[in-house]
Amino acid sequence: MMLPKVTVVTVCFNALSDLKKTYDSVKNLTYKNLEYIIVDGGSTDSTVEFLKTLPENVKWLSEPDNGIYYAMNKGIELATGEWIIFMNAADVFYANDILAKVMSHASSEVDFLYGDRIRVETNGSEALQNAGKLDDYLKTEVVFHQALFNRTSRLKKRPYNTHYSLAADYEYIVQAIHSGASLRYVSIPICKFQCGGRSRVLHVRGMTEAMKISIDFQKDKSLWTESDFFKGFIGNHLEAELNRVITDYIDGQGSFGGTFFNDSKGNLRIKLNKSNDTFHRFLGRVLRPLSRLALSTTPQRDESIKFAKEKTFTPKISIVTVVYNDLNGMKRTFESVSTLDYVNIEYIVIDGNSSDGTIDFLQANSCKIDVLVSENDDGIYDAMNKAIDRSSGDYVIFMNAGDCFTTPDVVGKAFEESDISNDVIYGDRNYLAADGTISHQKAKEMSTVFERMPYCHQSVFVKSSVLRKFKFELAYKYAADYHQVVKMYLSNIKFKKIDLTISNFEAGGRSESGIRPYLEVIKIQLDNAPKGFKSQNSVYIKSFINNFGDLTRDL
């Protein structure tokens, strides 16, 4: 019987000697139905010259990328094997016949095959590392990606999440287990793993990412301290790390004037030698992510793991508020964001150097704001672009001063049923008129984009990666959000309309101020409309003609 085709992918950057070790390991494999792909990040150390000497059956490319997981995703795109394994530079297979041994356990019912690995320390010593128990997947690393054979079709459908720079492989297997994937353990060492990679060099960041992932997928948030990532990093290093960061924060002026101690219950406490409001604000900001993640309704723990019905991914949402001299509106929006029950958020506020007390309010509440900028800008869209550059969420939503979410649970509801393969997820809004009346405005299908704006920016979640490609065009002072929507639509971005009222929008913004917004929208429509566009179908052109007939004789 013909064994399935296996794709081996090696990712490398400026690691020629390590690449040669891995290449020799792959070359010596006895498995016949094999494909080998090397993805190089644009190395400058003669790696490319070596790649040019390889036989034609080795696929390779060399170009700059944004990190290891971007490169691994490139390998996934190129792969044609039924199964794929990543054996990156310096890692080698345990034995030449290992693929045949593993593939003998493959079947159509299995999504992943995994085994053990040999850990090679920097001093050359070796030790066997057994794969962990799957039930512990939220506590520790139970599957090693150098000892993991992935169903390629699954990876192509849902590749590595590049939001994580060091732990995307852990996040991938966690979401797979969480969604009910079938894993089969093969009790043999599959590879020799060379210590000293990026996750070792940037240990703190890697552990922090892994801890965040384990918390995101933990149903009972009160259990988050049980993870090995927490115990190994926070539990052992919190005092030293806080001391270092605090000392840096107060400009190296010595100790922050306090001591750490354990109380009678074993809880870590901080005792200040004197009152320090600056330190209190700082400490609140440091601990805010942990306190948000630890929120829990303390449900009864279910010892049986029920994966199939669980949500597979909890995206991080960057909520952006742009404000200028609107203290009261800022307070309403801040209160709305503060009461959200969605855990995985980042709050960004971009202030245009207000002079009405807004910045004082923001600084007083800085412990609840992840990114705060106050400086002159070139208008609302320039400020929104600044927020895009600073965002780290998977999706971004703009909830500007005065605008509010409809309910505390609305963000969670927006992503309950939404497929995260969608680039844009949008819904309805409530329109709050100046006279106090409220009207419900339903979002429209994207096919109407050249007739009207399908949605408002306070009711849409857009992937940050998409926003970085389609920033707001500053040539438009009133309709840059409409221009952005049109450009995304014409680029075949994937939109999803959901039946949910997301925002309460306050009337009176710049987009409603006189004739200029009409002119900008009409220009955008005429510049970008497809062949066959009928101007009489545009609500903006019709409204413009009805209200400003004397100015439109030549249209």
- Work out the average pLDDT over 537-543: 65
The yes-or-no answer to whether 6-202 and 317-509 have a common fold is yes
Q: CATH number for the 6-202 domain, one of 2.40.10.10, 3.40.50.11900, 3.40.50.740, 3.90.550.10? A: 3.90.550.10
Q: For residue 511, what pLDDT band results from cuts at 50, 70 and 90?
A: very low
Structure tokens at 187: 């009790």
Phi, psi (deg, nearest 5) at residue 397: -130, 140
The rounded percent of the chain whose pLDDT value lies above 70 is: 75
480 contacts 467 by C-beta, under 8 angstroms? no
Every domain of the chain and the residues it spans: 6-202, 221-293, 317-509
Number of helical (H) and strand (E) elements in the chain, helices listed first: 19, 20
According to the model, what pLDDT value does residue 205 have?
Answer: 64
Q: Can you point out the beta strands (E) in 223-339?
A: 258-262, 268-272, 317-323
Q: What's the predicted TM-score (pTM) here?
A: 0.48
- Say how many residues make up the chain: 555
Query: H helices of 113-221, where?
Result: 152-157, 168-178, 198-201, 203-216
Q: DSSP states of 143-165 as a string?
A: S-GGGEEEEHHHHHHS---TT-S
Q: Which of 521, 523, 392, 402 has its CA nearest to residue 454?
A: 521
Q: For residue 313, what pLDDT band results from cuts at 50, 70 and 90?
A: low
Q: For residue 221, what pLDDT band results from cuts at 50, 70 and 90?
A: low
Structure tokens at 329: 């509106």
Phi, psi (deg, nearest 5) at residue 54: -75, 155
- Work out the average pLDDT over 279-297: 46
By CB atoms closer than 10 A (0-12, 13-18, 19+), residue 261 is exposed
301 contacts 379 by C-beta, under 8 angstroms? no
Structure tokens at 222: 């009160």
Residue at token pair 């995101």? 216
Per-residue pLDDT for 508 more than 50? yes
- Quick: pLDDT tens for 437-448: 889 999 999 988
- Work out the average pLDDT over 254-267: 60
Q: Can you point out the beta strands (E) in 286-423?
A: 317-323, 345-351, 371-374, 395-398, 404-405
- Quick: pLDDT tens for 291-303: 433 333 333 333 3
Element (H, E) at 484: helix 480-490
Give, in order, the Cα–Cα distances in Å from 298 to each of 224, 310, 332, 333.
Answer: 12, 17, 30, 29
Q: Which CATH architecture has domain 317-509?
A: Alpha-Beta Complex (3.90)
Residue 541, Cα to own-chain centre: how many angstroms? 39
Per-residue pLDDT for 309 more than 50? no
According to the model, what pLDDT value does residue 361 have?
Answer: 94
Structure tokens at 183: 């894993």
Structure tokens at 301: 């723990």
By CB atoms closer than 10 A (0-12, 13-18, 19+), residue 441 is middle
- Quick: pLDDT tens for 122-143: 788 899 999 999 988 988 889 9
More confident residue, 303 or 458: 458
Residue at token pair 């409220």? 438
Average predicted confidence (pLDDT) for the chain: 81
Rg (CA), the chain: 27
Per-residue pLDDT for 550 more than 50? no
Give CA–CA dist 247/243, Å, rounded: 6
* Lowest-confidence region among 253-267, 312-326, 327-341, 514-528: 253-267
